[in-house]
Structure 1
Amino acid sequence: MAYTLPALPYAYEALEPYIDVETMHLHHDKHHQTYVNNANAAVESLPADLKALAPDELLRHLDKVPADKLNPIKNNVGGHANHTFFWELLKVGTELKGELKAAIEKDFGSVDAFKEKFAAAATGRFGSGWAWLVVQNGKLAVVSTPNQDTPIMGEKFAGVSGEPILTLDVWEHSYYLKYQNRRADYIAAFWNVVNWDKVAQLYAAAK
């Protein structure tokens, strides 16, 4: 079954003023759609058992992908999966609380310390990539990946591992219309649009 572009779970303007409507149209309708198109082309030549896998499952089994197909799959199926995940984690007006907040305080020392570490991962990612909050062996950790790599690919293919529960896209197309070269301002604004309810659900399932 061919991959399709998922509809946003909110209106394009829902994240204003932190993420502008023009960026949302460009990011979702153009960039994500391109990853979907290229992912379908890349997957088309895979063996039938791999073609039948959902994007996340395929990325968890990259060791089964032929070597000459590996980079197109990582780049494009990764791009599709990462963006699909990212859209679900955005919402204005939720609150970090309960078990997730307690876990962040336990594993990072404080919420502020977690945000500083996450921001450092996002700011320090040279070029394009992602910052992640993951669950590793029951504990929370912050990691980053280049390009469209994701922790679910594992250490061998992404250099990091863990079950993602939060991510931030730091490719320039995700912020340049509004923030230009001020990636740090975009990262600071991100905390206003994190869907903490969704992150808490993911944490409960992953820990």
Structure 2
Amino acid sequence: MDKLLAYKATVPATLPKLNYEYADLEPIISANLMSFHHGKHHQTYVNNLNTIYEQISAAQKENDVQKIAQLQSGLRFNLGGHINHWIYWDNLAPTKNGGGVFPDENSPLTKAIKEKWSSYENFINIFNTRTAAIQGSGWGWLGYDTVSKTLRMFELSNQEMPEWSNIVPLLTIDVWEHAYYLDYQNLRAKYLTEVWKIISWTEVEKRYIQAISG
């Protein structure tokens, strides 16, 4: 769980370094889109988050409870923008590095996916249908429910985050327009079909094994 805990423990926040170059995800996601999405959009969340951290610190010193309360909405939104993107970048991989390749039949993740959805293909079809239907901006998620001890598919709007107390995030796909519009325009469904070609199932499997190990 060390890596998953690290997603929550970044004060001050810093833009995460990617495990690949911007151009490495082409042709699925262009270097141009990546430069905007990671280098500008995500950086803005980081900048905003650090500003809010400073404002909260100042308000605490002044014992200004009202100011602290006013900052909570912005804190949650920008923290969500930072953490959600960080998880998303880490569950992508260039095809030359194994992106899109499913774990083998003996993988604990494969067995769990098949038990719940019968196949990876069926899982992806259901995931895409649900995620494409998100109104406005949001994220499609696969998580491990630590209470029911099962995989769970769900969607969150805007920059809401999974409830970390009982959900371990395994995989997420960003369906804010800035995640795909430069390459796919208004064709969200096409983006969702293509992005699975660069999903790092190795990373998803690693998160799952960590999750079930407690």
Q: Provide TM-score, normalisation by structure 1.
A: 0.84
Are 1:111 and 2:120 counterparts? yes
Are 1:133 and 2:142 counterparts? yes
Question: Does structure 2 conserve the Cα–Cα contact (< 8 Å) formed by 1:78 and 1:148?
Answer: yes
* Structure 1 range deviating more: 94-103 or 83-92: 94-103
Question: Does structure 1 conserve the Cα–Cα contact (< 8 Å) formed by 2:20 and 2:94?
Answer: no
Aligned to 2:33: 23
Aligned to 1:163: 168
Find the aligned partners of 2:163 and 2:94 in 1 and give their Cα distance. 27
Aligned to 1:157: none
Are 1:122 and 2:127 counterparts? no
Find the aligned partners of 2:205 and 2:178 in 1 and give their Cα distance. 28
Amino acid at match of 2:102: L
Q: Could you give the per-residue CA deviations for residues 11-64 of structure 1, whole angstroms, max 9, x where no partner exists?
A: 11011000111000000110000000001111223359x9xxxxxxxxxxxxxx
Distance change in 2, residues 1:128/1:153 (3 Å): farther
Find the aligned partners of 1:127 and 1:84 in 2 and give their Cα distance. 21
- Unmatched tracts of structure 2, length 5 or more: 1-10, 61-67
1:151 pairs, out of 162, 165, 174, with 162
Find the aligned partners of 2:118 and 2:73 in 1 and give their Cα distance. 38
* Higher Rg: 2
Q: Could you give the per-residue CA deviations for residues 150-175 of structure 1, whole angstroms, max 9, x where no partner exists?
A: 11356xxxxxx621100000000010
CA drift at 1:182: 0.1
Aligned to 1:191: 196
Find the aligned partners of 1:148 and 1:73 in 2 and give their Cα distance. 11
Alignment identity in percent?
39
- Unmatched tracts of structure 1, length 5 or more: 51-65, 155-160
Question: Does structure 2 conserve the Cα–Cα contact (< 8 Å) formed by 1:129 and 1:169?
Answer: yes
Query: For 2:186, what is the secondary structure of its paired residue?
Result: coil
Aligned to 1:70: 72
Count residues in correspondence.
186
Find the aligned partners of 1:42 and 1:117 in 2 and give their Cα distance. 38
